Amino acid sequence: MEKGAKIYVAGHRGLVGSAILRKLQSEGYSNLVYRNSKELDLRNYGEVRQFFNEENIDYVFLAAAKVGGIVANNDYPADFIRDNLLIQTNIIEAAYQTKVEKILFLGSTCIYPKLAPQPLKEEYLLTGELEQTNEPYAIAKIAGIKMCQSYNRQYGTKYISVMPTNLYGPNDNFDLEKSHVLPAMIRKFHEAKERSLPQVEIWGTGTPKREFLHADDLADACLFLMKTYEDDEIINVGVGDDISIKELAELVQQVVGYEGELYFNTTKPDGTPRKLVDVAKINDLGWQAKITLEDGVRSAYQWFLDNHVLVTK
């Protein structure tokens, strides 16, 4: 991928897209194009096709998506399946029609069966039932994977699909109703500290285990894969290690400096018991995550402190 290539980062304001944008800029890629949702509705094929016709794009990082935690996925299942199907279908088709050289499609490890063996290997896709709480989102992402593979097979395109584990970092969503577990914890513990609350509620039993990848590590992996990977099969991106929700809560509590108690509300859902990805494939290609969870949580909390007036209003 030459430094002068025209690169479209779809979803450049989100957690993943903004990290990819920062990475590309830091590596000297200057011919970058992006639009916010007011400028370009990715759910509208006419707008998307016109955009691709006008811009003559060479490469696409498809990070645009409707995302959220357990609550959001449970409350708005139609929104999650519809919007994600529209966004990815419109971009992939418009990219094909305008002869884009390569697409990197961002999926999610929620595509894997709920009770798949651990760690999650790429070949476990479509071998069992999905986690019910985010099934519509997962099905949309699986459709995106199959669309990329089908275009490759029928049209000879080079569209790759990357499956990152749980993500966090700058530009995360800290909305307590719609965010994922780590940013929600950061906000909860911060507000409990500010208000001197006696306890912080944690959903579920605290026993499920999760793997957390900093968005900057994912961006580094995405650029690496865009340059080097052309296989038709999906590829995982993660750290290869996980932590229980209870241990995560204790880490965030320590980083924030909250001195109250933890209350585990066992009436709330746990979600998938464990989601650790097998990263042997990307490690064998020469890439590994670099940011430790403690360092990452500290930097994420600092970003929250610097921006919390904007992200919590």
Specify binding-site residues for NADP(+). 11-17, 106-109, 141, 164-167, 180
C-alpha radius of gyration, the chain, whole number = 19
How far are the Cα atoms of 2, 113, 181, 280 from residue 273, in angstroms, in the given order?
A: 43, 11, 14, 22
Spatial separation of the C-alpha atoms in residues 102 and 96, rounded to whole Å: 9
Active site residues: 137
| β-strand pairing of 159-164 with 102-106 | parallel
* Numbered residues of the known binding site for substrate: 188, 203, 210, 270
* Numbered residues of the known binding site: 11-17, 106-109, 141, 164-167, 180, 188, 203, 210, 270
Q: For 23, what's the count of Cα atoms within 13 Å in the CB-facing half-sphere?
A: 23
> Is the separation of the CB atoms in 20 and 170 below 8 Å?
no
Specify the residue for token string 């304001």. 13
Give 284: exposed, middle or buried? Use CB within 10 Å, 0-12, 13-18, 19+: exposed
237: Cβ contacts below 8 Å, ≥ 6 apart: 162, 163, 164, 165, 213, 217, 218, 221, 222, 225, 277, 279, 282
